[in-house]
Each structure stands twice: as C-alpha cells, then as structure tokens.
Structure 1
Amino acid sequence: MNRKKDDQCYDLEQMEKWLENYFLDPLTSYCDMTQFRIDLYETEKDWIVEAVLDDFKSAELSVKVEDMKLIITARKQTLSTNIKKIRTIDFPFPIKNQKVCAFFQNGILEIFISKIDKGAGNNRFITLP
C-alpha cells in the first residue's frame, strides 16, 4: 500500500532529528546500564523498538501506548526482592493513532509501531502473546 507524503502521520525531517538526538544522547547509555537496553529500528512499514530483558518472563512485562510515548515496564516480585524497571520512549508524533503490536522471545521484547496501519486512537496496554 503506497501512501502520499502528506498522508503520513509524522514529519520525516522531524523524525530524523529525533533519531539523531536519541542516539547521540549520552544519558541513553547510562539509562541502558541502570534499567535495560533498548534499540530503535526503522523499516519501510514499521518503527521497531527492541528491549533486552533477559531476566524477565513475558508475564512480568507490560507495554503501554500513551499519546506520544511508549512505556515498557518489567516487574519481578519474589519473597526476598521486588525489581521494577521502566523505560519511556518519547516519539515526535502520536503513536496512539498507529497499530502497535509486541512479541517477547528469548529475552528480547520487540514492539512494532506501524507507519501504515491505524490503531485504536486511544491510550492502551499492548497484549503480549
């Protein structure tokens, strides 16, 4: 499905600047060490966020779409410890209007934000299979 440039949900130049700032931000690597590592990728059809969560199971993770934010929470509770790690990724456009799906396998959480398909248009949690 081809889309016209003016039908896109984001400004391409603004997105390029956002990605550049994200990867050049020195606090990003600090946050990776204290919380969990994330990577951002772009394909023709999707923005992809990958989170490395080796120490967690699928049931211990939650993914929330909130306006222009993606919030990933990992929570592990045992008798002796309570571990909670959160990463928030701010996008330069509203992702709540896009189709978002997530998959967790082998310690890697992959979240796909569609450039083409529209979503529910509201803040929501994304169900992990």
Structure 2
Amino acid sequence: MGQVQGAPDKQVTLKNIQELYRKFASECPSGNLHLHEFKRIFGINSNSTEEESAYMENLFRSFDTNKDGKIDFMEYVAAVHLVLRGKLEDKLKWSFKVYDRDGNGCLDRQEVRHIVKVSFHIHS
C-alpha cells in the first residue's frame, strides 16, 4: 500500500514561508503559541472531555520540540511541514511520540487504552 502525498517534491518558497508567518502572527501575536491558544484553535474548551484535552496536550508537546512550553515559529513550520508533506515513516514516528504520554519510548496498556478511548470518542 502506498501513501498519496500532496506535492512532496514541491519546494517551499519564500512566499510560502511568508504566508505561514502571516497566519502564525495573526493567531499568535506574542510570537509563540501557548497550550491554551492551541486548544482554542482545535476547539477544546470546558465542554471537552478529559481525554480530548489530554490528547491535545500530547499533540502540543510533540510539536514543542525544545520543551519550553510554547511553540515558536520554527516549531510551527516544522509541524506544518510534517503534517502536510512529511514522509509516512516520519509521520508514524511523530504519531508514536504523541501517544507515548510518559515519553519512555514504549506504549503501555494504559496508553493504548487511551488511544482507543480518544479515537472512539472523536469518531462517534
């Protein structure tokens, strides 16, 4: 089975970067995307389940590569690039990091249960 990717060989132009920056700056005027803003963008609020909130926190942490509690523009570009143009193997590695909640390099029973629970809730 292959993976269909949207223009994987297309080079990123200065215009692409400038457009990404405009979008980032409009959503994050401070120059950083914080967890509460990240959750807001994805519609996580006080009515969201604990599982949904925890999933978004894991997702946020996976993009916060320098682990400073915020996503800067370079981390944002890397995340957008991975999601839109990344190789299948890189996306799988990233997905694993999202689900490895304690960061120990293994998925234990609770983490797998959490994946199933969140997936079921999102798709129902």
Please state which band the TM-score falls in when normalised by the shorter chain: under 0.3
- Relative to the length of structure 2, the TM-score reads 0.27
Structure whose residues are more often helix by fraction: 2
TM-score (norm 1): 0.27
More strand by share: 1
